[in-house]
Amino acid sequence: MKYFYSSFVIAIIGLVIAYFIGSYEALYISVLLSILEISLSFDNAVVNAKILDTMDAKWRKRFIIYGIPIAVFGMRLVFPIVIVAIVAKMGLYETVHLAIFDPHLYKENLEANKEGIYTFGGGFLLMVFLEFFFSKEREVSWLKFLEDNIVTRWLKNLENITLIIALLVGVIIIALSQSHLIAISYFSSILLYVVISSCMGSLSKQGVRSGIMGFLYLEVLDASFSFDGVIGAFALSENIFIIMIGLGIGAMFVRSITIYLVEKKTLQSFIYLEHGAHYAILALSIIMFIKLTHEVSELITGLIGIAFILVSFIGSLMYNKKHPQVESL
């Protein structure tokens, strides 16, 4: 429980503030939003744990100390305001004023440009999945009919196969949408992933895995997961402070889960958990692309992610039962 003490403290403080903002209704909405955030981002915690496990203790602490304010205030409050300011061609002060005193119009401005936001998040998450799926370093296969067949093995031997597939997907999406905003957003996400991944690879060769680039990668990954929750949160409340409190509490618990997974070496004990998380990431990426033309409930999105995690967890338990020596490692 020690890994969750700070999360419970933040949750209590946040819920007290929510009560003073809007009484029991705001309290109820904040709790719902925190649950929504955890359900949408549990797979994020698993992937974060995998990255953090390669980082030294110093950067793990920085991920908590600096990552929390960035996740709570940056991605759940400041980032949406910046997006609206840019796309609506307004000043930051004017946008903040709009968010506080005319939240309905603020919501409309944010949703009017959600295509670019979803495309960026979907593209980045797609690259995360493809990099995992076609990794030559990964020795364990979960769904062997997908991960270890003759076609997949052949594709793994092709140089830059992840980038090739991502570019192909981008061409298809852009051809169907005929949107300059979607084109810019998608290829910007691919470019950002390639730049960060390349820098992390360079640092790894020097024996300094991650560092600032690893931290940046985790924050961009968190941002990609938060897009869906931030926009979907307006279905429950138009008050940006209630949204920030609810999603912030959820983000704090996701951080605690991440540290728990790292410290307890959970990914080593449950070998398919990482697979389930990445398939959940693929599902979220696809859902973000679907949302360009159709509405998809956040409840469905969260349940799909949890389902992949749960099934992979059960699969890991069954594997450990057949191979007891693995569980004891």
**pLDDT confidence tier of residue 16, bands split at 50, 70 and 90:** very high
Residue range of the domain that includes 321: 2-327
Instruction: Measure the CA angle with vertex 241, ends 218 and 294; round to 5°.
Output: 65
CA 238 to chain CA centroid, Å, is 22
Q: For residues 185 and 227, give the distance between their C-alpha atoms in angstroms, rounded to a whole number.
A: 13
Instruction: Measure the CA angle with vertex 289, ends 154 and 227; round to 5°.
Output: 115
Give first-to-last CA distance, the chain, whole Å.
23
- How many separate domains does the chain show? 1
For the entire predicted model, the pTM comes to 0.80
Which of 56-65, 220-229, 231-240, 266-275 tops mean pLDDT?
A: 266-275
Q: For residues 276 and 141, give the distance between their C-alpha atoms in angstroms, rounded to a whole number.
A: 11
CB burial readout 169-184, b (16+ within 10 A) else e:
bbeebbeebebeebbe
pLDDT tens, residue by residue, 51-60: 777 777 777 7
Check residue 89 and give left, alpha or beta (phi > 0: left; psi -120 to 50: alpha): left
The CA radius of gyration of the chain, in Å to the nearest whole number, is 20
pLDDT tens, residue by residue, 247-279: 888 888 888 888 888 888 887 788 898 899 899
pLDDT tens, residue by residue, 84-140: 777 667 788 888 888 888 888 888 877 777 888 889 888 988 998 999 999 888 888
CB atoms within 10 A of CB 87: 15
Residue 128's closest CA among 196, 62, 176, 183? 196
Residue 210 has pLDDT above 60, yes or no: no
The 8-class DSSP code of residue 91 comes to -
